[in-house]
Amino acid sequence: MWYNLGGERMTEDLKNILLKIIDNGFEAYIVGGYVRDFLLGYESTDIDICTNALPKNLIEIFDGDNISVSSYGSIKLRSNKYNVDITTYRKEISYINGKLSEIEYINDIETDIQRRDFTINALYMDIDGNIIDKVNGKQDINDKIIHVIGDINKKFKEDPLRILRALRFKITLGFDLDNEIVEYIHNNKNEIIKISNQRKKEEINKMLVSKNVVDGFDYLKNLQILDLLGFSYNNLIYVDDINGMYAQLNFNDDYPLTKEEKDNIEGIKEILDYKMIDYGILFKYGLYLSLVAGKILEIDKVAINELYSRMPIKNSKELDIDGDDIQNILNIEPSKIIKDITDDLIFLVLNKKLENKNDILKQYILDNKGMWLE
């Protein structure tokens, strides 16, 4: 069931989360990106809720639900399709090295509004769809412009990540930065160096999945921000896959990627070097990496899928003979020869020079055993 909220809509599940807090005598508002995205017509599954309930109250209210408590008392709640963060109104007292180090819980929504970074992220929506806007955020959304709340020098020096967030919103939303932000970045771009690689990655990932990323990265390059982030590229083509985007970038070895991410990116890069996709590529790298690389190489997706469907075998497990069979046929101990023979058979089967049948493969091995056992 959907509830109409001033032109927006809220699921019953989300409404029930707010009601749980309100029914216990506290205020509760949806705030930040969810409200902004709703006004822009985008769907979001990440929900931020703020309240005057203290963390201990929230733990009691949501006792039995799937919750966890993160730093500074934020409650994380997983509810069907939503990832919900619930925070108590707060005043940020101090930062150390760009990280929040001390807060004070408050009962004042006005102060909570002022601690936020940009006006477009400081809209508070109640359960009936009424929006509290103390910083002209709705107008800035309509005008597609990003303004800092309060003193820009204080906000950006407290946490230089806000510079990167401003740039990310410019890219992902297609908004303009106001002159104050542009001037600050021009004069203080080196502050970005202070941001940890992991925090940089979170913002960069959000840029890379945006359809505006090509123009956005050109903008960052012209600002000399891309160099400070440790990235460069010769040519960038948008594909709707983050590994495919990273595969087109040059970056430092210490960039925090998982082993799976590194393997996928390296695989796509290798396919791009081949500049083609055939049975051998599909066999070695699989359909997913081949399709991603194919988008960058502008090879038709349908053609790649058709090629894949016609492959005699798609992986080594489908070869109708295994290492034990080869050992027994040649009466040899396990050795590198077995891999060489297997690779040879795969090549011949893929190129349809041998049929993938056990008896045919065995006979080929017997007929050519001198080639491997000299």
pLDDT digits over 117-155, tens only?
A: 999 999 999 999 999 999 999 999 999 999 999 999 999
Q: What is the pLDDT of residue 218?
A: 96
- Does 168 have pLDDT greater than 60? yes
H/E element, 116: none
**pLDDT tier, 82 (very low <50, low <70, confident <90, very high otherwise):** confident
Q: What is the pLDDT of residue 215?
A: 97
CB 93 within 8 A of CB 103: yes
Q: What is the pLDDT of residue 334?
A: 84
- Does 75 have pLDDT greater than 50? yes
Mean pLDDT taken over the chain: 92
Q: What's the rounded mean pLDDT across residues 346-366? A: 96
Q: What is the C-alpha to C-alpha distance for residues 134 and 127, in angstroms, rounded to an integer?
A: 18
Q: What is the C-alpha to C-alpha distance for residues 31 and 187, in angstroms, rounded to an integer?
A: 31
CB 207 within 8 A of CB 242: no
pLDDT tens track for 211-250: 999 999 999 999 999 999 999 999 999 999 999 999 999 9
Q: pLDDT exceeding 70 applies to what percent of the chain?
A: 97
Q: pLDDT exceeding 90 applies to what percent of the chain?
A: 80
- Does 7 have pLDDT greater than 80? no
H/E element, 336: helix 336-350
Domains parsed from the chain with CATH numbers: 1-143 (3.30.460.10), 145-232 (1.10.110.30), 260-309 (no CATH), 316-373 (1.10.246)
Q: What's the rounded mean pLDDT across residues 157-163? A: 94
Residues with Cβ < 8 Å from 339, sequence gap 6 or more?
Answer: none
Q: What is the pLDDT of residue 248?
A: 98
When computed from its CA atoms, the radius of gyration of the chain, rounded to whole angstroms, is 28
- Does 6 have pLDDT greater than 70? no
- How much is the pTM? 0.89
- Does 374 have pLDDT greater than 80? no
**pLDDT tier, 55 (very low <50, low <70, confident <90, very high otherwise):** very high
